[in-house]
Amino acid sequence: MSDEIPPVEINADRLTPVGGGRPSAPVSLRSRLRSMRDKMGRLPKPVKIILMVFAALLAYALPIINPPILSTPDTDFGGVLFIVSVYVLVALGLNIVVGYAGLLDLGYVGFYAVGAYVVAVLTSQHASWPWLATIPIAVMVTMVTGVILGAPTLRVRGDYLAIVTLGFGEIIRLTAVNSDWLGAAAGVPKVGKPPSIELFTVPHLNWDSGVPLIDLHRETTALKFGVIDIVPYYWLVLTVVIIVLFGDMLIKDSRVGRAWEATREDEDAAELMGVPTFKFKLLAFAMGAFVGGLAGTMFAGRQGFVSPQSFPLLLSILFLAAVVVGGQGNRWGAVVGAIIVGYLPERFRGFEEWRVLIFGLALMILAIYRPQGILPPRRRAQARRLDQKLDELEGEEVAGV
Amino acid sequence: MSEQTPPAGTASAETERVLELDHVTLRFGGLTALDDVSFDIRRGEILGLIGPNGAGKTTCFNVMTGVYRPTSGEVKFLGESLLRKKRFQITKLGIARTFQNIRLFKSMTALENVQVGADAHHTTGVLSALFRLPKHRREEAEGNERAMELLGFMGLRDKADELAANLSYGDQRRLEIARAMATDPKLLCLDEPAAGFNPAEKAKLMELIRRVRDEGYTVLLIEHDMRLVMGVTDRIVVLEFGKKIAEGAPAEIRDNPAVIAAYLGVDEEDAS
C-alpha cells in the first residue's frame, strides 16, 4: 500500500539524491553543525561515554585551566562559571515545563526564589539549620508550590497560562518584599553555606605571559565553601547538573516523557488516547519546580544573602531565552542556551553598558538564523530537514516546468 | 462472516451490547446536534454510522468518547454509564477512536505514537522511570512489542522510526488506527478513515477494517461512501439532522425510502 500516491508524500529515500546531488551547495555553518551532530550520533556507545566523561572532566577543570579568550578578563572566571552552571540547572528544569510538556511558563524565577528563601529562612532568619539539611525541605516546598500554582492554572492553555505564571513570579517577589517574616525588601543576610571538607589544594594556571604558568597566588582548596573562592561552588553545581541530566534522560525515555510530548503535540488527542493530560502537566510543573528550587538553594548557599532584588522578572525572561535559544525540548540545547545567556554578558563586561546591546544583537541574530534554537530536538530537526528537501524539490520542479 | 448476509450475531437477540445510546439529545444553545438518538453496538460487529454532512455523526463519536456531555439521555458502555467519566478514563474502559482530520503526535515517531496508545494501560511513573524499576522495564518491553506488532499489522513496520509528520497521507491514516488499537479497545471508532482515498485505496482499507474485526474488535465506522459501507458493515445506523432515521442490515437500508430520500438521492455525497 505504500506506493499509492496520496496528496502529500514525503519519501526520504526518493528525495535524498536530489538534495545530496547538488554540486553548488555551499557548506554553511549550519550544515557543518548538522553533520557534526550526525557523526556524533553514529559513534559507538563506549566512544560516546568516553567523550562524555572527557567533556565532564574538562568542565570540572575549566576554572583551574583558566583558558585565555574563554576566560573573563573583567570578572572572576570561577564566579562566572558558577552563575553559568546555575543557569544551566535552571534551564534544564524549565526545559521540562516548556520544552517537553509545552507549557509556557513566564514566572519560573518564582520557584528559584522559593528554593533560595527556604534555605535563607531555615539557616538564618528563623532557625540555624545546616545548609545541607534544608535542601530536601526547600525542594519539597518548591514542588508543593508548583502543584499549588499548577492545579488551578493548568486548566487554561497557551497565552493564558503564560500570563498567569507571569503573575506568579511577581507575586512571589512582592510577597518577599512585603513580608517582614521574610526579611522584607532588605532580604535575609548570613545564609548558611555548604559544609566544607578540605581535601586538597590546586593552583590555577596563569596565561599572562602567553604560556601557561602555575600561579601560586591563586589557588583553590577543594572543597572549601568560603566567601572568596567560588570554584568549589561551581564544582558542586556542576555535579548537581550532571545528576539532573541523567535523571532527565531516564524520565524522558519512558511513559512519562512520551505523555509529556503527546500532550504538547495535541492535548485533546492525547487525552483521548488515554493520557491523563492534567496529571502529567501537573507533574511537569512539579518536576520543573523541583529543579528550579534546587538551583535556588545553590544560589542562596553561594550568595550568603537573599533579597527580593535577586529575583526580578527579567530573570524569568532570561531563563526562557536560554531554553528557546538553545532549542526547546532538547536537554543539550537548554544547556547550550543557558551557557550563552549566562556567559556572553559576563564575557563582554569590558564593553560597559554596550554589553547588553551586544547580547541583544546576538539573540536577534540567533532568532533570525536559527529560529528553532541552536540545538533543536533531533527528531524535530529531522522533520525540518525533510521539509526543506521537499521545498527544494518543489522549487526545482517549478523551475523545470 | 460473509459481507453481504447479516452475520449470525445480528439475528440473535442475546448478543452482548457493547455500547448503548439511550435517547441521547445534545443541544448547543438553540442548535440541536443530536435529537433523541438511540442505538446500540453489539460485540464483534461492524456498525456503520452514515448520514449527510452535518447529520451529527462525529458529534455522536464525541458524545461516546466524552468530548461532549449529552444534554439528556444516557450512554452506557458494557452496562456502565459514561456520563461522569473523563475522556482518558473512557479510553481505559475500552473505547478508542481516530479523527476525521488526522491528529497524530507529529514530532514523535510512528512507533512512539503507537506506544502512547499502549501506555493507556500502563502506570509507570517518575520513580519507576528514574530508577529503571522492573515495572518500567516490563511495561516498556510490552508496549514496544505491542506497538511493533500493530505497526506490522498496518504494514508500517519499516516506518517505525519515521516521524509521524513525514509519513504519507495514507500511512498517517493507518497509523491513527494502529494508535487507537494500541489502547486495547473493546470498541474501535473510526471517523471517516478513508477520507481522501481513491477507490482502490478505500477498498484496501475496508479489507483491513474487516481484518481488524476478525481480530476480535468491535468496530463503529463513519463513512460517506455508500457502496463501501454496504460492503463492509453488518448493520447501519442512518442519521439526518441529528435524528436517527433508519437502522438495519445494509440490504434493508438500501431499500429504505427515507434513507433514499435523505441521502442516496443526493449526488454530492458521492463526491467525498
Q: What is the pLDDT of residues A150-180, one digit of tens each?
A: 999 888 888 899 999 999 999 999 999 999 9
CB B47 within 8 A of CB B233: yes
Is pLDDT at B259 greater than 90 in this prediction? no
Range A242-258 average pLDDT: 95
Q: Which residues in chain A are contacts of B167 at CB distance < 8 A?
A: 10
Distance from C-alpha of B24 to C-alpha of A400, rounded to nearest angstrom: 58
pLDDT at residue A95, rounded to an integer: 96
- ipTM summary value: 0.88
Is pLDDT at A249 greater than 90 in this prediction? yes
pLDDT at residue A13, rounded to an integer: 41
Q: What is the pLDDT of residues B67-81, one digit of tens each?
A: 999 999 999 999 899
Residue A324 parent element (H or E): helix A313-326
At A130 the three-state DSSP class reads coil
Is pLDDT at A9 greater than 50 in this prediction? no
Q: How confident is the model at residue B195 (pLDDT cuts 50, 70, 90)?
A: confident
Is pLDDT at A126 greater than 90 in this prediction? no
pLDDT at residue A24, rounded to an integer: 43
Residues of A with CB under 8 A from a CB of B: 1-2, 4, 6-12, 247, 250-251, 253-259, 261-262, 265-266, 268-277, 283, 287, 377, 379-380, 382-383, 386
Is pLDDT at A387 greater than 80 in this prediction? no
CB B231 within 8 A of CB B205: no
Phi, psi for A73 (deg, rounded to 5) = -70, -25
Distance from C-alpha of B74 to C-alpha of B24, rounded to nearest angstrom: 6
Q: What pTM value is reported for the model?
A: 0.85
Answer yes or no: do A255 and B129 touch at CB < 8 A: yes
pLDDT at residue A96, rounded to an integer: 96
CA nearest B161 in A: which residue? Answer: A379
Is pLDDT at A29 greater than 80 in this prediction? no
B3: closest CA of chain A, how far (Å): 23
Q: How confident is the model at residue B20 (pLDDT cuts 50, 70, 90)?
A: very high
pLDDT at residue B120, rounded to an integer: 93
CB B185 within 8 A of CB B121: no
pLDDT at residue A73, rounded to an integer: 78
pLDDT at residue A75, rounded to an integer: 81
**A327 burial via Cβ count (<10 Å: 0-12, 13-18, 19+):** buried
Window from A15-19, A39-43, A361-365, B205-209 with minimum mean pLDDT: A15-19
Q: What is the pLDDT of residues A33-55, one digit of tens each?
A: 667 777 776 778 888 899 999 99
pLDDT at residue B6, rounded to an integer: 42
Distance from C-alpha of A152 to C-alpha of B193, rounded to nearest angstrom: 37
Window from A201-215, A267-281, A310-324 with minimum mean pLDDT: A201-215
pLDDT at residue B88, rounded to an integer: 94
Range A236-253 average pLDDT: 95
Distance from C-alpha of A291 to C-alpha of B198, rounded to nearest angstrom: 52
Is pLDDT at A21 greater than 60 in this prediction? no
Q: How confident is the model at residue A379 (pLDDT cuts 50, 70, 90)?
A: low
Answer yes or no: do A274 and B125 touch at CB < 8 A: no
Range B114-118 average pLDDT: 95
Range B212-216 average pLDDT: 90
Taking all residues of chain A, what is their mean pLDDT, rounded to a whole number? Answer: 84
At B158 the three-state DSSP class reads helix
CA nearest A253 in B: which residue? Answer: B129
> And the C-alpha cell for B113?
505514537
Residue B81 parent element (H or E): strand B80-81
Is pLDDT at A235 greater than 80 in this prediction? yes
Is pLDDT at A131 greater than 50 in this prediction? yes
Q: Which residues in chain A are contacts of B62 at CB distance < 8 A?
A: none
CA nearest B189 in A: which residue? Answer: A272
Best residue of B64, B87, B198, B202 to probe chain A, by most A CBs closer than 10 Å: B87
Answer yes or no: do B129 and A272 touch at CB < 8 A: no
% residues pLDDT > 90 (chain A):
50
Is pLDDT at A201 greater than 60 in this prediction? yes
Nearest CA to A294 out of A138, A178, A176, A184 is that of A138
CA nearest A244 in B: which residue? Answer: B130
% residues pLDDT > 90 (chain B):
68
Is pLDDT at B171 greater than 60 in this prediction? yes
pLDDT at residue A227, rounded to an integer: 82
Which residues are within 8 A (CB) of A362 and not within 5 positions of it... i.e. 6 or more apart?
A: A340, A344
pLDDT at residue A351, rounded to an integer: 77
Q: What is the pLDDT of residues B26-61, one digit of tens each?
A: 999 889 999 999 999 999 999 999 988 888 899 999
pLDDT at residue A26, rounded to an integer: 53
Distance from C-alpha of B123 to C-alpha of A176, rounded to nearest angstrom: 39
Distance from C-alpha of B190 to C-alpha of B48, rounded to nearest angstrom: 10
